[in-house]
Structure 1
C-alpha cells in the first residue's frame, strides 16, 4: 500500500495537484503550458463534459469529431511535468481507494503543443518542430532510475562538444514515442533534438544583470550534430515529458510552434496565428489515430 504522504489525495478523493479523478481524463491527452491555451483548443470541441482548475493546472475533457480528448495545462518547467505525469499515471495505474498498483497497466497518449525558439537559421519563425529526441539540461530525470530509456552516447557527445560543466548535473536524452512520431510527422514539420532547460534566463543563455556560467553554450548547441541530427530548439518541458513517459510506459510526442529564432534574432509577427495553425494540425492528426 502506498502511504498517504506519498500519494496525496484531496478530501473528495481527487489527485492532489491536478484535482482530477480517474473518470475525468481521456486516454489521449494534449499538454499545453498556458492555462489560457486550454480553451483555445477545447473551443473547437463538439462538447465539453468536464472542467476544473487548481493553480496552473487546468483540465478540460470533451469530444472532438467523436474522439474523447483531454487538454491539460502544465505550467512552466520540468518540475511541473514531474507533478503532472506522475499524477496522471496514478489516475490510470493506481487504485486510489486501496492505494495499490493495478495489475493491468494503461498507456496514455500525450501530445504536447508548445511554443519555442529555434536555434537553427534554417528553421524559421512560424514553422513547426517535432522533437525526435528530448535533451534534458534540467537534471529532473536523474532523480529516477533512468538507464533503460536514456541515450548515453548522445549525452556523452553533447558533454564533450559543449565542454559541459558537470557541476550543473549530467544531461539526459530520451527518444519520443515511435508510434506518435509516425502519426504526427509530415513534410511540413521539422525534426530534431529539443533541448530542455531548467530555467528561462540564465539556463537559456539570456543575460540581464547576472553573468552566466557559459556564455557560449547556445553557440555550441547550434553546432552540435549527433548522427546527422541537430538541436533544433530550446524550451523547458519536452525532455522531462519524454523521460517520465518512457519510464511509466506512456507514449509522448512534443510539437512546438517556432515563434522566435535565436540564431538570427527574429520573432514572429503573429505568434497567435502560428499557434492556432499548430493546434489545427494536431487535432487533425489525433483524430485519425
Structure 2
C-alpha cells in the first residue's frame, strides 16, 4: 500500500486538508458547490442548524442539516483551476486515511451539486430561467492532465470537432456527462435541460471584447449553431466540465444547476439576479431532500 508523501497530501497543522481547511468528519455526504463565497450563507440560511463554519482564502464551508439531511455547501471561486483543488480535496476527505496517508480500500461516493450562474447563448433560454446540464463541453483543458479517456464522450467529441473549426492553439475540447441518476432527481417542468460549454475565462474565452481584439471572434456563433442528436449548446460558464470530469474519475455523482443571468443571443441581463438565484437555491434544496 503506497503511503502519500507530505508534498502530495498536504495537511495543515490541525490535520485539516490544505486548501479547504476541513477534517473528514466536517464534510457531509452531499455537497453543494457555489462559486461566490457570499453565496454559502445564502444557502446555509435555509438549514435548520449549522455545525461547521470554516474557511481559507476563497474556500468557505458550512455544514449542517436541511430537511433532515446533512449537507455541506462550499465556495469554489471561479474556474476549473479552482475546481481541480476542490474536487481532489473533497475526495481526499472521504477516501484517504489522513493518519496513515493511504488510500482507503472501501471508497465513498459523494453527491455533488453545483448551484451557479450562467449565460445563455440561445435566444429562447431567457434570463432568470433555471437550467441543468446533461453534458459539459470542456474548453479549459483540465481533464487532459489526467488519464481520462475512459470517461470522455468520444462520439459527441467527434461531432463537435466535425462542426466546429476549433483553433489548434486552444486546448482540445472534451465532453463529459452529468450523473444520470442524480440529474433525474432534479427533473422538473420549471428546469430547462441543456449542454454547457465550460470556458477558461470570462472575457476573451467567452468572446467578450473590451479593449483586446479576439483571436476567434466567431466562437459564440459557432457554439450556438452546434447540434448533435437533437441537442444544442445552451449556455456558457466556467466550472461544470471540471466538476463532471473529476467526479466521474473519482467515483462521485455530480450535476450542475444554473441560474441564467444573461442572454448573449439577445443582449439581455437579469434585472434581479439575486432574486433569481434565491429561487434556484430553494428549488435545489427541495430536490436534494429526495436524494
List per-residue Cα deviations over 1:165-187 (Å, max 9, x = no partner): 12212101000001111101112
1:87 and 2:83 matched:
no
Name the residue aligned to 2:106. 104
List per-residue Cα deviations over 1:234-267 (Å, max 9, x = no partner): 0000011000000000000000000110000001
Name the residue aligned to 2:26. 24
Structure-to-structure mapping, 1:45-60, within 5 angstroms: 45-60=47-62
Greater mean alpha carbon deviation, residues 157-166 or residues 117-126? 157-166
Name the residue aligned to 1:217. 219
- Secondary structure of the residue aligned to 1:10 is coil
Structure-to-structure mapping, 1:273-284, within 5 angstroms: 273-284=275-286
Distance 2:191 2:227 in 1: 19
Deviant stretches of 4+, over 3 Å: none
Distance 1:65 1:187 in 2: 22
Distance 1:185 1:234 in 2: 21
TM-score, length-scaled by structure 1: 0.99
Distance 1:242 1:227 in 2: 21
Deviation at 1:220, TM superposition (A): 0.7
- Secondary structure of the residue aligned to 2:256 is strand
Name the residue aligned to 1:229. 231
List per-residue Cα deviations over 1:82-126 (Å, max 9, x = no partner): 000000000000001111000000000000000011010110001
Deviation at 1:159, TM superposition (A): 2.2
Structure-to-structure mapping, 1:166-177, within 5 angstroms: 166-177=168-179
Deviation at 1:158, TM superposition (A): 1.6
Distance 2:25 2:262 in 1: 38
Among 13, 24, 28, the alignment partner of 2:15 is 13
Among 20, 28, 37, the alignment partner of 2:39 is 37
Name the residue aligned to 1:2. 4
Structure-to-structure mapping, 1:192-271, within 5 angstroms: 192-271=194-273
Distance 1:65 1:241 in 2: 25
Cα RMSD of the aligned pairs, angstroms, is 0.7
Distance 1:150 1:57 in 2: 28
TM-score, length-scaled by structure 2: 0.98
Answer whether contact 1:129 1:232 (CA < 8 A) is retained. Answer: no
Structure-to-structure mapping, 1:184-195, within 5 angstroms: 184-195=186-197
- Secondary structure of the residue aligned to 2:116 is strand
Distance 1:109 1:19 in 2: 20
1:66 and 2:68 matched:
yes
